[in-house]
Amino acid sequence: MVDNNTNKHIYCPNPYILAEIMPYGNVYPCSCGWIRGYSFGNIFEQSFDEIWNGEKAKKFRQKLYDNDFSLCPGCQNLEILKEIHDKEPKLISEPPERILLGLDELCDVKCIFCRGENYKVDTNLIPKDKEDKLLEILSPWLEKAKYVKTNAVGEVFASKISRDLIKNIASKFPNVKFEIITNGIQCTKENLEKLNITDKISMMTVSLHAFTEKTYNKIVKGGNYKKVIKNIEYLSQMKKERKMDRFELHFTVTSINYKEILDIIKLCRRIDAKVRLLGLDCSRDLEETYNKINIQDKKHPDYNKLVKLVHSQEFLNAKDVVIQGHDYFVGLEPISFWDNLKNKIRNKCKIFGVL
Ligand SMILES: C[S@@+](CC[C@H](N)C(=O)[O-])C[C@H]1O[C@@H](n2cnc3c(N)ncnc32)[C@H](O)[C@@H]1O
Ligand code: SF4
Ligand code: SF4
User: 72 CA distance to ligand 2 centroid (A)?
Assistant: 6
Q: What share of the chain is helix, strand, coil (3-state, %, to 5)?
A: 35, 15, 45
Q: With a 6 A CB cut-off, is 155 part of the ligand 1 pocket?
A: yes
Q: How far apart are CA 169 and CA 135, in angstroms?
A: 7
* Alpha carbon nearest to ligand 3 atom 3, residue: 154
Q: With a 6 A CB cut-off, is 30 part of the ligand 2 pocket?
A: yes
pLDDT value at position 325? 62
The sign of the CA dihedral 141, 146, 151, 155 is positive
pLDDT value at position 268? 96
Q: What average pLDDT score do residues 241-253 get?
A: 95
Position with higher pLDDT, 203 vs 346? 203
Q: Label residue 1 by pLDDT band (50, 70, 90).
A: very low
pLDDT value at position 279? 82
Q: What average pLDDT score do residues 174-182 get?
A: 98
User: 5 CA distance to ligand 1 centroid (A)?
Assistant: 46
CA angle (321, 326, 328) in 5-degree steps: 145
For a ligand 2 pocket test, name from 9, 10, 11, 14 the mutation site with the most ligand atoms within 8 angstroms of its C-beta: 14
Q: How far apart are CA 248 and CA 232, in angstroms?
A: 10
Q: Label residue 315 by pLDDT band (50, 70, 90).
A: confident
User: 86 CA distance to ligand 2 centroid (A)?
Assistant: 19
Q: With a 6 A CB cut-off, is 345 part of the ligand 3 pocket?
A: no
Q: Which of 94-98, 155-159, 255-259, 305-309 has the lowest mean pLDDT?
A: 305-309
Residue-wise pLDDT tens digits, 52-107: 999 999 999 999 888 788 888 777 666 666 777 788 889 999 999 999 999 999 99
Q: With a 6 A CB cut-off, is 281 part of the ligand 1 pocket?
A: yes
Q: Label residue 307 by pLDDT band (50, 70, 90).
A: confident
Q: With a 6 A CB cut-off, is 19 part of the ligand 2 pocket?
A: no
The residues near 23 (Cβ < 8 Å, ≥ 6 apart) are: 102, 103, 105, 122, 125, 153
Of 8-22, 154-168, 336-350, which one has max mean pLDDT?
154-168
Query: pLDDT at residue 340 above 80?
Result: no
pLDDT value at position 104? 95
- Of ligand 2's listed atoms, the one at least distance from the Cα of 34 is 1
Q: With a 6 A CB cut-off, is 114 part of the ligand 3 pocket?
A: yes
Query: Judging by beta carbons within 10 Å of its beta carbon (0-12, 13-18, 19+), is residue 339 exposed, middle or buried?
Result: middle
Q: How far apart are CA 141 and CA 97, in angstroms?
A: 9
Position with higher pLDDT, 163 vs 346? 163
- Of ligand 1's listed atoms, the one at least distance from the Cα of 286 is 19
* Alpha carbon nearest to ligand 2 atom 2, residue: 75
Q: What average pLDDT score do residues 208-213 get?
A: 98
pLDDT value at position 330? 25
pLDDT value at position 80? 67
Q: With a 6 A CB cut-off, is 20 part of the ligand 3 pocket?
A: no
User: 232 CA distance to ligand 1 centroid (A)?
Assistant: 17
Q: What average pLDDT score do residues 131-153 get?
A: 96
Residue-wise pLDDT tens digits, 24-66: 999 999 988 788 899 999 999 999 999 999 999 999 999 988 8
Cα distances (angstroms) measured from residue 89 to each of 61, 62, 64, 85: 8, 6, 9, 10
Cα distances (angstroms) measured from residue 186 to each of 50, 125, 148, 164: 38, 23, 20, 15
For a ligand 1 pocket test, name from 181, 221, 247, 330 the mutation site with the most ligand atoms within 8 angstroms of its C-beta: 181
Q: What average pLDDT score do residues 109-119 get?
A: 93
pLDDT value at position 98? 97
Residue-wise pLDDT tens digits, 141-150: 999 999 999 9
For a ligand 1 pocket test, name from 114, 156, 281 the mutation site with the most ligand atoms within 8 angstroms of its C-beta: 114
Ligand nearest to the CA of 29: 2
User: 253 CA distance to ligand 1 centroid (A)?
Assistant: 11
The residues near 190 (Cβ < 8 Å, ≥ 6 apart) are: none
Query: pLDDT at residue 178 above 50?
Result: yes
pTM of the model: 0.90
pLDDT value at position 284? 66
Q: How far apart are CA 257 and CA 349, in angstroms?
A: 23
Q: Which of 14-18, 113-117, 164-168, 312-316 has the lowest mean pLDDT?
A: 312-316
The overall average pLDDT reported for the chain is 87
